[in-house]
């Protein structure tokens, strides 16, 4: 795409920089922004070593991003990975969140047991369980029992 324009000798540098600036300004993904910024700096005449220092990326990353951009345009800078599909569907997750809100004190083992035996779901890391606690509004930070002392008059 860009490569063809360059081969035809068309003055596209200003348009490329404008396109990249718009991509950077409208993008919330830090990794995509870094790719766009690296390519923009290349087209602005910065040396690869300068870009490497400014952005903290490798020379091979800059080279690869530039090549992908020249072949595919802005779409080449976008991340293909969109995250893993959830083990629980939306309805199941809502059921679990409602269940978690039925009491104030939980141990992670209780949640692990429920998901494993009722939904056939076993997460690889504890973080996924903690995320469910958080979504239910339950603090998972070091739980402990609090004893209250009542004052008796007399």
pLDDT tens track for 9-34: 444 788 999 999 999 999 888 888 99
Flag whether 28 is in a domain: yes
Flag whether 154 is in a domain: no
Burial grade of 35 (CB within 10 A; 0-12, 13-18, 19 or more): buried
What residues in the chain have per-residue pLDDT under 50?
Answer: 1, 3-5, 9-11, 142-143, 146
Last residue of a domain, one of 77, 102, 120: 77
Say what the pLDDT of residue 119 is.
81
Say what the pLDDT of residue 10 is.
45
For 30, 36, 54, 80, the CA distances from 25, given in Å and listed in that order, are: 11, 10, 18, 20
Domain match, 69 and 7 both? yes
Domain match, 66 and 98 both? no
Flag whether 140 is in a domain: no
Range of the domain at 62: 2-77
Q: Alpha-carbon distance 42 to 81, whole Å?
A: 25
Flag whether 120 is in a domain: yes
DSSP 104: S
């Amino acid at each position: 795409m860009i490569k063809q324009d360059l081969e035809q000798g068309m003055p596209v540098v200003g348009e490329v920089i404008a396109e990249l600036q718009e991509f950077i300004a409208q993008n919330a993904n830090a990794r995509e922004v870094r790719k766009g910024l690296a390519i923009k700096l290349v087209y602005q005449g910065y040396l690869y070593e300068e870009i490497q220092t400014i952005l903290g990326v490798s020379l091979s990353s800059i080279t690869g991003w530039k090549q992908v951009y020249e072949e595919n345009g802005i779409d080449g800078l976008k991340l293909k990975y969109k995250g893993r599909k959830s083990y629980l569907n939306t309805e199941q997750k809502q059921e679990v969140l409602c269940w978690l809100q039925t009491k104030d004190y939980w141990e992670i083992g209780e949640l692990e047991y429920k998901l494993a035996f009722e939904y056939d779901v076993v997460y690889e890391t504890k973080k996924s369980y903690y995320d469910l606690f958080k979504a239910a509004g339950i603090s998972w930070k070091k739980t402990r029992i609090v004893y209250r002392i009542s004052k008796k008059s007399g």
